[in-house]
Amino acid sequence: MEWTWFHAVVIGGALIAALTLFARAIVHRYRLLSALGPAPDATAGDSKERLHELLVTFLGQKKLFQDIAPGVMHALIFWGFLILLLRGSTLFGMAFFGFDFHLPLLGTDGIIGRFYSLFKDIANVTVAIMVLYALHRRYLIRVPRLLNTGGALFVLVMILTLMVSDMIFDGVLHASARASFEWFAPVGSGLGVLFASGGGALPTEITIAGQFGFFVHLLGILTFLVYIPSGKHMHIFSSIFNVGLKPLNRSGRLLKLDLEDESIESFGVTKIEDYSWKDGLDLVTCTECGRCNDACPAQRTGKKLAPREITLSQKHNLLDDEAPRLLASPRSPEPVKPMVPDVVTAEEIWACTTCQACEQACPVNIHYVQRINSMRRSEVLNSGRFPVELKRVFKGMETNSNPWGIGVSNRMKWAEGLDVPLFADGENTEYLLYLGCAASFDDRAQKLSRLLVEFLLRHQVSFGILGTDEGCCGETARRLGEEALGQTMIQTNVELFKELGVRKILTLCPHCFNTFRNEYSDFGASLEVIHHSQLIARMIDSRQASLQAGVRGRVAIHDSCYLARVNQETEAPRRILHTSDQVTLVEPREHGLQGLCCGAGGGMFWLEEHGKRINHERFDQLMLTSPDIIATCCPYCLAMLGDAAKDNAQAGVRVSDLIELVE
């Protein structure tokens, strides 16, 4: 098999054409993203953390392994590609310099080159097998979350073609050199021996096949290059940026909206360019894998909301509907399609529990919660459009600083007959115990407040409460898009905390916990925040507290999203239950960082739920572990799962907060 100038001319011409087309597409995408809003937190923060993110999430493919089989498949293809990048470069070199070309150090006369050659062969075969597995998943198993688009099929067939064509070319090259079998080229030399097995000169068909393999491989790579920017495989290029430019410290933290600037006349996202360029990068990076949908509690229970479909609708809106307008000069401020309801419907945005399961699942660090929240903000603050049930909630918070709308004077009703110390000052009192609205007004959760206070008094923990001065922490209002109301309540609290010298806050509710921990710093408060489960765990560790003697049998833990996934606290509740040999800890299929939401988050507690209820879905999953007790650590989870338990009274399970299990 011979190299001729023809190889250089054909491949050279195709290379120039493909690079030109590719560059044009990339410049177009770049200009489009530049037309979106600024994203200061995409570059801010610790660069070591970003490097770590690149190593673990991008190179290490860590998040993919949450779904193990396809995770391994993808990782092997990805790692295989990294090795084959060098092979591709070598083949382009061969097109210009002859078939004996090799990259420095990679000639098979040296040990490095031999090992490279071995890995290259292994990669070729592995990638090909993994592609067959991918085809199997898509077209035989028909995994529901996958979108079987023409693009997906095209790319898989293309990759397979690239692998096979290279193997054939390599085999023929070995055959024409009459090489014997070599350990460092098992595929190439193996095929070479096979092809040359007839003896004498190589049959023409074989040399033609080799040449054909060479051209198919390189032209295939170039076709791939041109195709990539238009489809989901854009992630091959953009995911490294999307992973590395991930806004840090965003878990559980909504962006603070500027309400000071009176000249701002529109809040949140009404059109695509109200998003940041990083949001835009999220959209073009989506691989359509559907892991977000599989994780989403709303999608799982048949709601219209599907994180992937929101992303794809917005991507389509950016690349197709609005692109000409965004790139025009001067640019019209009127969108072709207003974001809600034309691109995303109200039904979708008002179904999100903000549980972050989608973000936990996404292998390329796409953010969804803020994107949905920004649409809620626009609906509430600009248009006053939201589900009718929320008006009472907003008014309740506005007038009485709690979503129940119960009078401020009743805030301490849970404590009747109990002598609870008021927080006087931060010098003499360690913790401000912040009970939160649920534990102050919800009948069931009020019991938790009493138990926690009694527990703290019994163990002589230094604490005080705010009494009727306690207001809403602002978490729910902000998650429901009522940023103005949320910020007003937060500012009131921040001033009160400063006045009283509050430094450490103990919360009963993970929602208060999260907002104090992650969001109050944006409003000038620096607080050390601890959740009651963490304090109890600490006291259990030091043997000050223990599980109640009556707590025995199988106990299933239901992780609160805002404690576990959002704030990475999965150990404390387990440590508490691990102390007794009377207790067998059982875990539902989804637990810890992957735990399924109870359905209450993001203000969904206050909305009518249609179709299958999320709390029932979660309850059913928990019941598969045959528990005697379901342990929760959030008053909202308690209410939701408690309701599900009432609806399934025959299940005979007890749903309890951890504070009800310790003494």
- Asked if 413 is part of the footprint of other proteins (rule: CB under 8 A), the reply reads no
- Asked if 391 is part of the footprint of other proteins (rule: CB under 8 A), the reply reads yes
Minimum CB–partner distance for residue 432 and other proteins (Å)? 22
What's the token pair of residue 239?
A: 């995911």
Residue that has been written with the tokens 């068909």 in this structure: 205
Judged by CB under 8 A, which of 89, 148, 399, 582 binds other proteins?
A: 399
Q: Which stretch binds other proteins (CB under 8 A): 55-63, 384-392, 549-557, 559-567?
A: 384-392
Cβ atoms of 554 and 651 within 8 Å: the answer is no
Minimum CB–partner distance for residue 467 and other proteins (Å)? 12
Give me the amino acid identity at 464. G
User: Residue 68 or 388: which CB sits closer to other proteins?
Assistant: 388
Per the DSSP assignment, residues forming a β-bridge with 422 are 465
Closest C-alpha among 403, 406, 454, 416 to residue 433: 454
User: Residue 4 or 266: which CB sits closer to other proteins?
Assistant: 266
Q: Which stretch binds other proteins (CB under 8 A): 8-16, 258-266, 450-458, 509-517?
A: 258-266
Give me the amino acid identity at 41. D
User: Residue 230 or 399: which CB sits closer to other proteins?
Assistant: 399
What's the token pair of residue 190?
A: 């193996």
Judged by CB under 8 A, which of 258, 260, 265, 608 binds other proteins?
A: 265
- Asked if 340 is part of the footprint of other proteins (rule: CB under 8 A), the reply reads no
Judged by CB under 8 A, which of 195, 275, 386, 636 binds other proteins?
A: 386
User: Can you give the three-state secondary structure of 353-422, one letter per residue?
Assistant: CCCCHHHHHCCCCCCCHHHHHHHHHHHHHHHCCCCCHHHHHHHHHHHHCCCCCCCHHHCCHHHCCCCCCE
Cα gap 617→531, rounded to integer Å: 26
User: Residue 470 or 483: which CB sits closer to other proteins?
Assistant: 483
Cα gap 306→523, rounded to integer Å: 32
Closest C-alpha among 520, 429, 529, 414 to residue 467: 414
Provide φ and ψ at 276, rounded to 5°: -85, 165
Minimum CB–partner distance for residue 493 and other proteins (Å)? 17
User: Residue 169 or 394: which CB sits closer to other proteins?
Assistant: 394
User: Residue 22 or 386: which CB sits closer to other proteins?
Assistant: 386
Residue that has been written with the tokens 């097995």 in this structure: 197
What's the token pair of residue 425?
A: 């000052």
User: Residue 391 or 458: which CB sits closer to other proteins?
Assistant: 391
What's the token pair of residue 485?
A: 């109301």
CA dihedral 583, 584, 590, 594 (to 10 degrees): 60
- Asked if 262 is part of the footprint of other proteins (rule: CB under 8 A), the reply reads yes
User: Residue 151 or 405: which CB sits closer to other proteins?
Assistant: 405
Length of the chain, please?
A: 663
Minimum CB–partner distance for residue 260 and other proteins (Å)? 12
- Asked if 384 is part of the footprint of other proteins (rule: CB under 8 A), the reply reads yes
Residue that has been written with the tokens 């999307």 in this structure: 242
Minimum CB–partner distance for residue 382 and other proteins (Å)? 5
- Asked if 406 is part of the footprint of other proteins (rule: CB under 8 A), the reply reads yes
User: Residue 179 or 406: which CB sits closer to other proteins?
Assistant: 406
- Asked if 410 is part of the footprint of other proteins (rule: CB under 8 A), the reply reads yes
Minimum CB–partner distance for residue 429 and other proteins (Å)? 24
Closest C-alpha among 613, 618, 640, 615 to residue 301: 613
- Asked if 37 is part of the footprint of other proteins (rule: CB under 8 A), the reply reads no
Q: Which stretch binds other proteins (CB under 8 A): 170-178, 401-409, 431-439, 523-531?
A: 401-409
Judged by CB under 8 A, which of 383, 544, 548, 582 binds other proteins?
A: 383
Q: Let me know the angle formed at the C-alpha of 588 by 606 and 517, rounded to the nearest 5 degrees.
A: 50
Report CA Rg, the chain: 30
- Asked if 484 is part of the footprint of other proteins (rule: CB under 8 A), the reply reads yes
Cβ atoms of 659 and 448 within 8 Å: the answer is yes
Minimum CB–partner distance for residue 374 and other proteins (Å)? 14
Minimum CB–partner distance for residue 341 and other proteins (Å)? 17
- Asked if 267 is part of the footprint of other proteins (rule: CB under 8 A), the reply reads yes
Q: Which stretch binds other proteins (CB under 8 A): 75-83, 106-114, 262-270, 443-451?
A: 262-270
Judged by CB under 8 A, which of 93, 220, 231, 405 binds other proteins?
A: 405
Cα gap 334→343, rounded to integer Å: 14
Judged by CB under 8 A, which of 408, 457, 496, 623 binds other proteins?
A: 408
What's the token pair of residue 183?
A: 């350990």
User: Residue 124 or 488: which CB sits closer to other proteins?
Assistant: 488
Judged by CB under 8 A, which of 380, 502, 583, 629 binds other proteins?
A: 380
User: Residue 274 or 617: which CB sits closer to other proteins?
Assistant: 274
Residue that has been written with the tokens 């249609």 in this structure: 610
User: Residue 302 or 407: which CB sits closer to other proteins?
Assistant: 407
Cα gap 412→402, rounded to integer Å: 13
User: Residue 155 or 485: which CB sits closer to other proteins?
Assistant: 485
CA dihedral 545, 548, 549, 554 (to 10 degrees): -120
The DSSP-derived string for 146-199 is ----HHHHHHHHHHHHHHHHHHHHHHHHHHHTT----TT-HHHHHHHHHHGGG-
CA 166 to chain centre: 36
Minimum CB–partner distance for residue 403 and other proteins (Å)? 13
Minimum CB–partner distance for residue 32 and other proteins (Å)? 28
What's the token pair of residue 207?
A: 């040399």
User: Residue 267 or 520: which CB sits closer to other proteins?
Assistant: 267
- Asked if 400 is part of the footprint of other proteins (rule: CB under 8 A), the reply reads yes
Cβ atoms of 596 and 561 within 8 Å: the answer is no
Judged by CB under 8 A, which of 45, 98, 203, 407 binds other proteins?
A: 407
- Binding letters toward other proteins, positions 306-325, x by CB under 8 A: --------------------
User: Residue 262 or 499: which CB sits closer to other proteins?
Assistant: 262
Task: For residue 423, give Cα distances in angstroms to 200, 503, 512, 610.
Answer: 96, 12, 18, 42
Minimum CB–partner distance for residue 471 and other proteins (Å)? 12
The string over 48-87, giving b where at least 16 C-beta atoms fall within 10 Å of a residue's C-beta and e elsewhere, is: eebeebbeebbeebebbeebeebbebbbbbbbbbebbebb
Cα gap 37→198, rounded to integer Å: 66
Please list, in sequence order, all residues whose beta carbon lies within 8 angstroms of the beta carbon of residue 583, skipping any fewer than 6 positions away. 547, 551, 552, 553, 554, 555, 577
User: Residue 482 or 657: which CB sits closer to other proteins?
Assistant: 482
- Asked if 381 is part of the footprint of other proteins (rule: CB under 8 A), the reply reads yes
Q: Which stretch binds other proteins (CB under 8 A): 11-19, 261-269, 300-308, 338-346?
A: 261-269
Per the DSSP assignment, residues forming a β-bridge with 657 are 632
- Asked if 467 is part of the footprint of other proteins (rule: CB under 8 A), the reply reads no
What's the token pair of residue 339?
A: 């974001």
Judged by CB under 8 A, which of 259, 336, 585, 651 binds other proteins?
A: 259
Residues that bind other proteins (CB under 8 A): 259, 262, 265-267, 380-384, 386, 388, 391, 394-395, 399-400, 405-410, 483-484
